[in-house]
Amino acid sequence: MNESPRSFTVESANATLPLVSRIVDDLMRLHPAWRQAVTAFELAQDAAANAPESPAARAARLEAGRLAGEIEACMEELEQVGCLFRGFELGLVDFPAYRDGEEVFLCWHHGETEVAHWHDRTAGFPGRQPIDAAFAARGES
C-alpha cells in the first residue's frame, strides 16, 4: 500500500491514462465473468443441497477464485499508480489532486479519452465538473 497518496495534475493524470485504461479494460472484462462464475457456483451448490461439492460447483468455485485474484491484481496495479477505482458500473477512476489548495479528485471513467472532469472529495461522480483552462494551467500537485 502507498504510505502517502500521490497527487496528480491534469497533465500527469492524463499521462497515466494508457496504463489506467488498459487496467480498467481488464476490470470491466473480468468482473462480469467473476459474477457469472459465482452465480454458477451458487446454482450448483443449491442443486446439490446437502450433498458434497459437485464437480460443477468445484469448477465454478475455482474459476471464481481465479478471477477474483486477477481482479485483485488489477486493483493493486491501480493503487500503485496512485489512483482510486470507484466502481465496476462505469469503470470510474479518481485521481487525488489539488485545486486552489483544496484536495479534490480528477475524475475519469471507462471510455473517456482524457481526464476532463474534477469533483470535490465529498461530491462524487454526480458532482463532477469540467476542468477549465485555469484549473489545467495551475499544475497543482
pLDDT tens digits, one per residue of 35-45: 999 999 988 88
Return the DSSP state at 88: T
User: What is the tens place of the pLDDT at every residue in 7-38?
Assistant: 999 999 999 999 999 999 999 999 999 999 99
- 138 pLDDT band (50/70/90 cuts)? low
Residue 84 near residue 119 (C-beta atoms within 8 A): no
Q: What percent of the chain has pLDDT over 90?
A: 67
The type of residue at 8 is F
Residue 136 near residue 114 (C-beta atoms within 8 A): no
Q: CA 63, CA 84: separation in Å to the nearest integer? A: 26
> Cell triple for residue 127?
458532482
| Phi, psi values for residue 103, rounded to 5° | -75, 130
- Lowest mean per-residue pLDDT among 2-11, 21-30, 78-87, 127-136: 2-11
Global pTM?
0.85
Residue 118 pLDDT more than 80? yes
Q: CA 45, CA 17: separation in Å to the nearest integer? A: 41
Nearest-5° angle of CA 21, CA 25, CA 31? 140
| Phi, psi values for residue 97, rounded to 5° | -155, 180
Q: CA 67, CA 6: separation in Å to the nearest integer? A: 28
Q: What percent of the chain has pLDDT over 70?
A: 90
